Chains A and B, each alone.
Chain A
Amino acid sequence: MELFIQQLTNGLAVGGIYALIALGYTMVYGVLKLINFAHGDLFTIGAYLGLTLLTTLGLTNYLGPFGVVIVLALMVMGLVAIVGAALERVAYRPLRTSHRLSAVVSALGASIFFQNAVMLIYGARYKVYPHDILPRTAIHVFGLDIPLIRLLILLTSIVMMIGLYLFIQRTKIGTAIRAAAIDQGAAKLMGINVDRVIMIVFLIGPALGGAAGLMVGLYYGQINFTMGWLYGLKAFTAAILGGIGNIPGAMVGGLLLGVIEAMGAAYISIAWKDAIAFCVLILILIVRPTGLLGERVAEKI
């Protein structure tokens, strides 16, 4: 039972991270019908930028632990958002009318570019986050000691997701995003500036991905320039699990995948942990490709 609760909370925390990354994939796919292969690398950039800012700005001198994290998160999110918007402008916008596969190759190229840029700047070895930013205490909950960090991460992810959900459902821009995701042409005819909507999607999605990168750095303490690939693929699985293009779906998918993975690692085998995510992916795509919350779209013949 103890193992179960620990793994559950662990799975939810990791799942929250997957969800934040998955949101980036799902929002971009929703409006552009494009899998942004470079998204995982934006996540990586977030993790590295977090480290740089942390060590160079010496924020711990001025602020308490939570203050540091909040300021750090805001800065990282802002910076990664800018990189994301630039990515869209340079690598994707010129290909909007071209064949789907061209955009895929461009995305792959951008991914290679970012990954190697990070490697050139920071080196190929693992980098370590300072351990003492957040208190490494445990909270006594459900009769168990659960690490504070884990709960904080879970809480933060949930807060961000709720924020995004409200933004998408209740604001004018959010509605514009949803409209553009359903039918770009019609949205344009309704006076929606689709270019701007897309740019906003590429600000929000990468921002969340960057935040997730920061969280991984704080939670696991270690980052590497290749981490974007595995996290990216898993987050993509989460997005598909929930229904690609569906925002609540990405949230549900992320949390669910995190828990499935944690349980699988604990009760089946830790060596196959990564394979679990891929098995889930393939199963979902064969059995229910539109995902848990996705909608069927019929083709008119």
Chain B
Amino acid sequence: MRVLAIDDSRTIRDLVELTLAREGFDAALADDGEHGLEVLGDMSPRPDAILTDINMPRLDGLGFIRKVRDMPDYDGIPILVLTTESARELRHKAREAGATGWIVKPFDPARLVGALRTVTGLQ
């Protein structure tokens, strides 16, 4: 499984990569929304799922999701939002922007992997 993970915190990127690597998943990393779009563009074929933080410089998570949802090439791609914020408001915004699901940081590795398997249907 190939996943694109976007977070401005190096620590979180490392943790996600470690978690995914243990499952044999491939992780591509980016550190903000703009970078995420670049990396996404380079991924061929497209990733099976995208994991993104919300609070990031340059282009934040919501902005990133909106852009991706506008791109027919990535139609239907599952996007999970990963963030510490538990505010309901923000979850609604994320959903409106087009997110598929929501995972709260700090994440339980098993849950993250489970969620990815669920939304992609892959093992």
Q: Do A and B bind each other?
A: no
Using CB atoms and an 8 Å cutoff, list the residues of chain A in contact with chain B: none
